[in-house]
Amino acid sequence: MKSLSALRPDGTNIGLMLLIALALAIFTVMLPGRFLTDSTFMSMAFQLPELGLLTLAMFIAILSGGLNLAIIATANLTALFIAWTLMRALPADAGTGMQLLWLFIAIIGAMLIAALIGVITGVMVTRIGAHPILVTLATMMTLNGIGIWLTKGAAVSGMPSVVQALGSNTLLGVPLPLWVFLFAAALLALFLGKTRAGKCIYMGGSNINATWFSGINTHRMVILVYVISSLLCVLAGLIMMARFNSARMGYGDAYLLLTVLAIILGGTDPNGGFGRVTGVVLALIALQVLSTGFNLMNISQHVSLAMWGAVLIVVLAFKQFKTRFNEHRAVKLSKLAAALNPLTEKKEV
């Protein structure tokens, strides 16, 4: 029974599913013969994973009560490392087995770099006490500077065939990048919901001081959060590199706002402590459907970006209003209970 209740969608998820259904219906009517096609849905399935992986990287940071503005810079820098490794190590006539071996080695190296970035970020937040916004902003600027200095702003292109296949092939009719995203989302959901460390992250996001006094090493917890966030960025950078057939600092810069929007729209508390991976995934699907529909309607990307910002403002305002309303209602109920308490005591006497 407990497992069934865990799978039961909450109000946010039901609302997102209704939004997806409504958007599909509207675009099908407004774009007859253009929206409801196999090519459109396949295009959405190829586009969603890179934003989805970056969103998961931002999600775990926000869930812990922090923020990670360096997700895109981390993704691009680790993608550059993978690209450099493959370009320098692989001979021109390397077979598929050799390519897979060096790709695996390059990904391991990129994950070590990402883990180091996560550890440094976590130590800066916990030991020095700097705010996560300032720390990750400084990290983002540093990584961008290093990447641009090493490449002089140019792209590293000409990826081997296994990388190109990752960005364009399908498995059981589903794009390979989408499989990577779904696998990462499932692992993150299991980690947050079924492990002690995941529950500690929820506790730390709700009240970091109370979590510390309950005997949990919150310093280690925060470092773990930023390490996981950075490791998810490696997957995002790999998918972007595979889709664009190149790696470059600056890819995906427009995704930063959308990651926050998807997280908040998915029901995550911006202050941390509450949120579900399923809500984030549904929010990403809703945003992808809307974005694809707007593109088919030839709506400017600048207009879409302004609209996403306005939606984020509205959602944040609604959440703030709802929080204050609930607090005000709780105060009124407590006063009413206090007023009724003497009356019940008199009746008992």
Encoding tokens for residue 296?
A: 């088919």
Which residue from 229, 228, 226, 234 is spatially nearest to 123, judged by alpha carbons? 226
pLDDT tens, residue by residue, 296-323: 888 777 676 777 677 777 777 776 676 6
pLDDT tens, residue by residue, 149-173: 988 888 888 888 888 888 888 888 8
Q: Looking at 26-30, 205-209, 246-250, 300-304, which range is the least confident one?
A: 300-304
pLDDT tens, residue by residue, 106-153: 999 999 999 999 999 999 998 888 889 999 999 999 999 999 998 888
Kindly report the pTM of this predicted structure: 0.87
Encoding tokens for residue 6?
A: 């865990």
> Residue 326 pLDDT more than 70?
no
239-163-283 Cα angle (round to 5): 20
Q: How confident is the model at residue 7 (pLDDT cuts 50, 70, 90)?
A: very low
pLDDT tens, residue by residue, 74-83: 999 999 999 9
pLDDT tens, residue by residue, 242-267: 988 888 888 888 888 889 888 988 88
